[in-house]
Copies of this chain bind each other. A is one copy, B any other.
Amino acid sequence: MHDRLNKNSMAVLKMVRASHSHPTASEVYEAVRQERPQIGLASIYRILHNLVEQNYIKELRHGDDTCRYDAHTARHDHAICTQCGALLDIPIDVALPQDLLEAAAQATGIEFSSHELRLYGRCPTCQGQAVQHKTVE
């Protein structure tokens, strides 16, 4: 565990930071290959795990079986499309009442440290597709 990042790690971190679409390990691999063609997929996984452990990035999981990465490490909330599964960042700060969060935590006995709000519904793209679908048929 070192503090300083080497070239491979820097390339991975830069890629995740540049992407706004929560890339998967494979997507990171394909993008980083452009700059560092000799890098292996195993290193991508290793480096992503290290970056998560060192808090440079966060790991995201939802519906599908691949996990995604996000360089936006500050606490924020997500919207999940019930049709296509897309995971969107909620771009505003949703200030939930602290007392409600604490009451909920107390009800389970956990030592409350953070939270996330998830909204479910059809994303703008899928709403558009649904309309188009109807008019076409």
Q: Which residues of A contact B (CB under 8 A)?
A: 61-63, 65, 77, 79, 81-82, 88-92, 94-97, 100-101, 103-105, 107-124, 127
User: How far is A110 from B84 in the complex, measured between Cα atoms in Å?
Assistant: 12
Q: For A100, list chain B residues within 8 Å (CB).
A: 94-96
Interface centre among A77, A97, A100, A107 (most CB of B within 10 A): A107
Q: For A96, list chain B residues within 8 Å (CB).
A: 96-97, 100, 117
A107, B91: Cβ atoms under 8 Å? yes
Closest CB in chain B relative to A110 CB, distance in Å: 4
Nearest neighbor of A100 in chain B, beta-carbon distance: B94
B110, A123: Cβ atoms under 8 Å? yes
Closest CB in chain B relative to A89 CB, distance in Å: 8
Q: For A112, list chain B residues within 8 Å (CB).
A: 119-121
A110, B79: Cβ atoms under 8 Å? yes
